[in-house]
Every structure is written in C-alpha cells, then in structure tokens.
A and B are shown apart, each in its own frame.
Chain A
Amino acid sequence: MIKYLISSFLLISSLSANSFYFSEERYSDAIGRSIEFKGEITFLENSLEINYTDINKSLKYSDDTLVYTQDEKIIELDSSQSKNIIEYFKVLILLHSDDDSKLHFLFEIQTEDSTTVLIPKTYIKEFIKKIELKKDIKELKDIKLFLKNGDTIGIKIEDEIQ
C-alpha cells in the first residue's frame, strides 16, 4: 500500500515528467508564524532540484554535492548549513525513490484512511518527529514534515509541468 502511495505520490520515477509546481509552507516555532514559498521541483535519479522562480534562487543536489544559485551566480554555503539541506533533500529523494526496503528500514509506517504517517526509526528521529503523506484520489499531493524543534514544513505538489 505504502509503496503504491509513494510511487503514485510523486509518480515521477518511471515517467519522463519529473517536474512539478509546488508551494512550501514553513511554520517557524521561533516566531509562531508561517512563511510561504512557491517554485518548481524536479526529481531526477538520486538528485533533486528546487527553483524558487519568484526570487530567482535555486538549489540543486546531485552526487552528494549541493549547489546554491542566485541570479545565476553560485553562492558558497557553510558546511553545516549545506549538510542540513542535504539531509532534508535526502529524505525527499527517499520518499520519491520508491525504495520500499529503505523506507521500512528507516521508518515505522502507519496508514489511516488517506493519510500515511512515517515515524523515523533511526538517527533521523533526532531531527524529525514524523512525516505525513496525504493522497488526493490517486495521487499523493501533500507531504508534511514535523520537526523536533516544533517547526513544520509542508509541501503541496500542484500541477505537473508540461
């Protein structure tokens, strides 16, 4: 079931259409407010690219390297910042990858109606409390990460980019 949900969520894996419009809502517990970003997300094999088109910034992760570009200029990130983003991207890639065995290895999986909850089993639990995946008819449209520090990150997958 979970395999079906995830593979249909981002579908992406076996199809050529891997890019989607998305909106990201970050709730920061530090200020008690949410901030919203919009952009395009592209999944490739073992890599991920996010473009925030409105502000002309992009992040590309492939071959264990993260590149941050602003106005087509590469900007250096400090190592700890880079590491955090990579870990976050790895989770997204994993959710997209359809790696059922690794998902079961890393998460305890609970399914209730249209919601699937992933509870981290390994070191990820130091940062992430749980991940919620929600489906809409056939495709999973919503992913929400509940972080240990009280912050949440919600990603809504919108239309596929043709």
Chain B
Amino acid sequence: MKYSNFIIFFVLLGLGILLKNSINLSTNLLSLFANKEAIHKLGIADKLGYSKEMLVAVKGFDDNSKQKVKSLVEQFKKLDNIKNVQSNFLPSKEILTYYKTHYPFLADFNNTKLSDYDIKLKVKELYDSLFSNVFYTPIDKNDPLKLFHLNGDINKDDFIKLGSYGYLIKITTDIAPSQMGEAKSLYNRVDEIVGYDENIVAFAPFFYTVENSQKIKSDVRYIVFISALILLLIYYLLLKNIKLLVHTLVALGSSMIFAILVSSMILESLHVIALAFGMTITAVSIDYLLHYYFHDFYMSEKKVDKNVMFGFLTTALAFSIFAFIPVTIISQISLFCVLSLLFAYLLFTFIFPYLEIKEYHCEIKEIESKKTIPSYIFIISSLLLLTYSFSTIKIDNNLRNLDYQNAKLQAKEKLFKDSMKNSLIPILVEADSKEKLISNLHKIQDKYKDSFSLANFVLSDEKCKQRERNLKEYDFKSLKKLINIEALELGFKKNYFKNSYDFVESSICKVEDFKIFENYNLYFYEEDSHFYSLAYVSDLNLIKEFNFTQSLSIKDIFAEVSKEIFSSLLIYSSFVVLSILLLMFFVVKNRFVYALNYILFPISLTLAVVGCFYELNIMHIFALVILVAIGIDFGIYMSNSKQISTTTLAIKYSLLSTFGAFGVLIFSSVVALNSIGFVVSVGIVAIYILIRVMK
C-alpha cells in the first residue's frame, strides 16, 4: 500500500500518454464565451469569406512602393491557402464577360420612345461630332444613341490606395481564424515575405489566432513555472518532509491528469486557459493535506475529518453548480476543478494514511492574544464596503478585453481601420431560398445606395422580369433599320451600324455561376435549406430594421453574449451562495456570523478595490465566487476548530499556497487570468486580516 500513490500516478500517466491524441486543446477565445448560435453564424460567415481577408500595406506612393507591390503580389500568389490577390480595381476576365452578356440588364435603360425625326437628328449629331469635337470621342456602334448607361467605372487600373499611408494589397485566403495549423503555416510564410521591411505592414484576423495563442501559451508556461516554484518552496519550507513533499506533488499530478482525461472525454475540446486555470486551482487541494498533517490526522484512527470533508463538499458544490452554467470558460474550469479536487481529496483522505507519513513536529506559538476586533465590526465594515462598491463600480462587458492585449497587432489593425475610414462593414444576410436572398439584398441596397453586395451585380427576379418587359416592348429592329439608312445617307460607312442593339437579343438576366463574384468577397452559402451571403454596409444601426440580417461585429456579439453571461452568472452565483450559506449554517450553527465574515469581508474588500482601479469583468465575478468557496473552507475550519493555533497556522500556509496557485495569475498578461489573480490576491489579504484580528 505504501507505493499506491505512485502506482495511481503511473497508471494515470500511462493512460494520458495512450490517449494523448484524443485530448483536444483549443486556443480560440471566442469559443469560450460566445453562445452556440453566435458561433454558428460566425462559422457561416467564415465560409462566406468573412475574416479571411489579409491586408498588406506598402508605405509611400513612389515608384519604389509600386515595385514592392508588384513583387509582393507575385510572391503572395505562389502561396498555398491564397485564393485571390488584388492590388488594383481591374475586374477579372469573367466579370468583364459577365458585364457584356448582362449589359442590358445591369445598365440603366432609357426606354423613352424616339420618333423618326429624333432618331435622324441624333445620328446627324453623331456624324457632326466627328468633325466638331476637338477631343476624340469613340462611336459606340453597338449603342450609337446611348440608350444604355452603366453607372460607375468598372475599369479602374490604379493601384489601390490606403488613405494617405501608401498602396494596399487585398488578399483573400481560405483560412478562418479558428484553423490554427493552416493559420500558423501561412503566418510564417507571410512573415518571411514581408520580413523586416518597416515600410510593409500585414494584417489578417488569423494573425491574432497565431500570435495570441503563442503569447497565451508562453504566458501560461511562465505562470505555471512561477506557480510551481513558489509552491515547491512553500511546501518544502512548510512540510520539511521530502517524502511527504514528493507524495504531495505526485498526488497533485495524478489529480490533474485525472481531470484532464475525464474532462476530455466529456468535452469536445478543452480550452488552454481552462486547463491552466484548472491546474493551478488543483494546487489549492493542498489545504486538505495541510489540515490533515497539522492536526495529525494520518496518525489518528479517524477515517474522515468532518471539517475537511465539509470544506471539500462546499467547494465541490460551488464548482458543480457552475459546471452547468452556459458560459463555456466557467463551465470548463468548474468541471476540471470538481474532478481534480475530488481526486485530490480522495487521495489525501484515503491513500495518504497508508503512506507511512511521520508525525508533524513543530512548536506552534500562541497568537490568539492579538485577536481583538469582534466579528460584528467586520460585518458592518463589509456592508459599508459593499455599499461603496455598488455606488462606484462600473461593468466592463467587452469580452474582448479579457483576451491577451496584443498591442502590436492592435496597432496594425488600427492603421488599416483608420486609413479606410469609409470602409464598409460586413453583415450576414439570410433567406430560405436563393431568389429571396437576392431580393433581401436588394431591399438593403434600395434603401442604402452605398451598400455593396451581390445586389450590385445580380438583379432580383422581380427586377429581371420588369427589365425583360421593357426590352421586349422597345422596337430595336425599327430603330436599327432607321439608324442604318440615315447613317449611310450622311456618309457613314455602309453597314457600320448593322449589328447595333443586337446585344439586347443575346443578353441574359439569369446568373449561371456565382463564383465569378468571389473576387469581390461575395459568396453564396447553403446550409439546411437556408441561404446566406454577406452584404457590406456603412452603418450597422441602419440595418436593424431588416430582420433577415445579423451583425458580425465581434464587439456586438460579445456585448450581446456578455449580457447573457452576466445574467447566467447572477442566477448561478445566487444558487451557489445560497447552497453554501445553507451548508455553512448546518455545519457551524451558532458561529454562523463569525464564519460568514470569511465570505462577506473578502468579497466586499475585493469589490471596493476593484471598483477603485478597474471595471468589473466577468472573470472578476467568477473569481469572487472562487473566493467564496475558499473562504467558506476557512470559515468552517476556524469556527469548528478546537486547536485554534494549529488551524490558524494551517490556514496561513493554505493562504500562501493559494497565492502560489491563484495569486500568481496576477502576473499574467492575459486579462482573464490577471483578473482572477487580482481578486484572489486581495481576498487572501482580507482572509489574513480576519485570522489575525477577528475574535
């Protein structure tokens, strides 16, 4: 039995190695917060080319810049995962052919009936213009009377300009920000091309995936290293027992592996932030060991220690309730914690007694004399602090602020956004048929002329039929006949206008292949008998009246989601607090107010400090709940303890280890983790004050 701790560890480690390919780790921050519907819509938008555009800017407008653009275009075209590279507004061959075949439908048509006299007069004007016009004006033999007129200039050959910065290259990739492997590979190749040229700036949404994921991973490695170092130091200094230290570390390792394996079986993918956070939280379970060790539980005949058991149950209860919250990050962390704490509790309680651990020898100094402040003072102080907090605190509901703040990439993104002040914002448009989708796109375009979508190229069924009627009603045959007679009389070459207006006959309205519009980032996508496309508009507020549109702005989605998260957190936190209070009342009975301070005071002090320096985000709230779970353990231990000095010492050491596990998150540059570290660190200070001075 004395090797059982190692056996369990190696069995779990073996299982971990065996099943490592089925452990799916994710680094996509959005998937942690956004609800399934929003993620689904963003997934569709990804398929429609949203977020797949890469922008490259070359500083300056001189020849050198033009040469660079030319060279970059050639290099980018050779890369995998690149669908289109555009450095000017020149339409593709396919688009030009499309314009030719659909011209009578796409151009404005002046269908005013012309009399014979009008026609003769116009042909005469055309003839005279050849001699009187000082500037060369070509004659359009297909439409000599200019009945058709196409708005806008499709033949723009100039380099695309990015405001006053320089030239712009627009690149369409087939990489969505969630495709980590491909994103990293393309990111590296783009980096090789762009190199260290300060005058070239490249940006794509998937750069965040690559850079932030690398930063988060290295941040997590750094935190885990610091945490491990602090914990090792504390454990060694506290326990002064190498054997126990080794067994403790092995037990913590087993608990983490157990939690990883089971949560991987339950969850589709485990987020790296949830994993890192869950692993550090596991270290809190050393509280159980410290309590057992200092109270000589392993030397006693007792099977369970009620204080530790109730402490564990309250913590497990809190996390179990949170495991069901419809907010992925919180539910993942909670699930991981329930599993790892359960396993650690079982090991420390039922396996460690067989490890032949020696009795704890240490002189404990009496410190009770310093406890001078009655518990009701803390209750009053807490209520005052809470009142202050509620009057000052501001809520930050922008979930993007929780991510790693990649200032360098944000500056690049800002450069493009600021320089493209008139740029249009993409929205998702849907309908239950292709025709209806085009009709919906036209509804947007009819109202907002500056919008850009397939409606710029494709007519709705209704408009097609209307134009077909107009064209049929117009007598092009007679018109052509008269033009040719008059032209010959005036001196035009014979049969010069013999094919005039023939293009009307051969034109079509129907679009056979929508792929030709992909160069403009305009796609169709069908899923479950629903049709989707993107439209680009100048103002998101304008499209709110259309119920077939959806904003794709991450900010909007996050704002919507954060409302749901805050309300979920409120409901679930109420459940957790209520359950904990009930359990605590049942366990500590007449010392309820005393124990309650271990929840109320840390929370009120933390909220007041957060209110002074930060805006309250959802990770602050989640960390407050963890603080409740930790505080209640100590409240129970302190209220029920018969050896108060030993318990105080155990709690002090627990606080140190809690700081080693959680508090170190304050050093993280990922705001989500930093927020937790901040709350727990302030909470630790509050609990320390309580154990030192509250009587």
By a beta-carbon cutoff of 8 Å, the part of chain A in contact with chain B is 26, 28-32, 35, 37, 50, 52, 55, 57, 59, 68, 80-81, 83-85, 88, 99, 101-102, 105-106, 122-124, 126-127, 147, 149, 151, 153
Contact = CB atoms under 8 A, between A and B. Distances in A.
Contacts of A122: 90, 157
B493 A30 contact: yes
B149 A29 contact: no
A31 B492 contact: yes
A83 B153 contact: yes
A5 to B, nearest CB: 19
Contacts of A127: 138
Given A83-B153, A123-B155, 11 more contacts: A30-B496, A37-B134, A55-B134, A57-B134, A84-B138, A85-B135, A88-B135, A101-B66, A126-B155, A149-B141, A151-B138
27 contacts: A28-B130, A30-B139, A30-B141, A30-B493, A31-B127, A31-B492, A32-B493, A35-B131, A37-B134, A52-B134, A55-B134, A57-B134, A59-B134, A81-B135, A83-B153, A88-B135, A101-B63, A102-B63, A102-B66, A105-B66, A106-B157, A123-B155, A124-B157, A126-B96, A126-B155, A147-B138, A149-B138
A50 B138 CA distance: 19
B412 interface: no
Nearest to A106: B157
Contacts of B66: 101-102, 105
Nearest to B155: A123
A123 B154 CA distance: 10
A149 B157 CA distance: 21
B136 A26 contact: yes
A30 B131 contact: no
B115 interface: no
Nearest to A102: B66
Nearest to B127: A31
B274 to A, nearest CB: 53
Contacts of B153: 83
Nearest to A24: B136
Contacts of A29: 493, 496
B391 interface: no
Contacts of A124: 157
B502 to A, nearest CB: 16
Contacts of B130: 28, 30-31, 35
B480 to A, nearest CB: 16
A71 to B, nearest CB: 12
Contacts of B141: 30, 149
B111 to A, nearest CB: 19
B90 A123 contact: yes
Contacts of A147: 138
B70 interface: yes
Interface of B: 63, 66-67, 70, 90, 96, 127, 130-131, 134-139, 141, 149, 153, 155, 157, 491-493, 496
B612 to A, nearest CB: 56
Contacts of A26: 136
A26 B139 CA distance: 13
Residue picked from A31, A59, A84, A153, most chain B C-beta under 10 Å: A31
B90 A31 contact: no
Contacts of A102: 63, 66
A81 B137 contact: yes
A84 B137 contact: yes
B493 A123 contact: no
Contacts of A57: 134
Nearest to B158: A90
Nearest to B157: A123
Residue picked from A30, A57, A122, most chain B C-beta under 10 Å: A30
B474 to A, nearest CB: 21
A149 B139 CA distance: 8
Given A101-B63, A102-B66, A123-B157, A31 B134 contact: no
A98 B492 CA distance: 39
B282 to A, nearest CB: 62
A101 B134 CA distance: 32
Contacts of A123: 90, 155, 157
A32 B491 CA distance: 9
Contacts of A105: 66, 70
A105 B67 CA distance: 9
Nearest to A105: B70
Residue picked from A88, A123, A149, most chain B C-beta under 10 Å: A123
Residue picked from B63, B70, B493, most chain A C-beta under 10 Å: B493
Contacts of B96: 126
Contacts of B149: 80
A123 B91 CA distance: 9
B264 to A, nearest CB: 55
Nearest to B153: A83
A80 B135 CA distance: 13
B306 to A, nearest CB: 84
A44 B385 CA distance: 75
A68 B137 CA distance: 14
Contacts of B70: 105
B124 to A, nearest CB: 13
B577 to A, nearest CB: 68
Contacts of B63: 99, 101-102
Contacts of A149: 138-139, 141
A88 B134 CA distance: 13
A59 B131 CA distance: 17
A7 B134 CA distance: 27
A68 B134 CA distance: 10
Contacts of B127: 31
Given A30-B492, A35-B131, A102-B66, A88 B157 contact: no
Contacts of A59: 134-135
A4 B198 CA distance: 34
Given A28-B130, A123-B157, A88 B136 contact: yes
Nearest to B90: A123
B287 to A, nearest CB: 72
B107 to A, nearest CB: 12
Contacts of A85: 135-136
A31 B493 contact: yes
Contacts of A106: 157
A33 to B, nearest CB: 8
A29 B131 CA distance: 13
Contacts of A84: 136-138
A55 B134 CA distance: 9
Nearest to A87: B155
A59 B133 CA distance: 11
A4 B105 CA distance: 48
B136 A153 contact: yes
Nearest to B126: A30
A101 B149 CA distance: 35
Contacts of A88: 135-136
A102 B65 CA distance: 12
Contacts of B157: 106, 122-124
B139 to A, nearest CB: 5
B493 to A, nearest CB: 5
Contacts of B90: 122-123
Contacts of B496: 29-30
Nearest to B497: A30
Nearest to B150: A80
Nearest to B154: A123
A57 B493 CA distance: 29
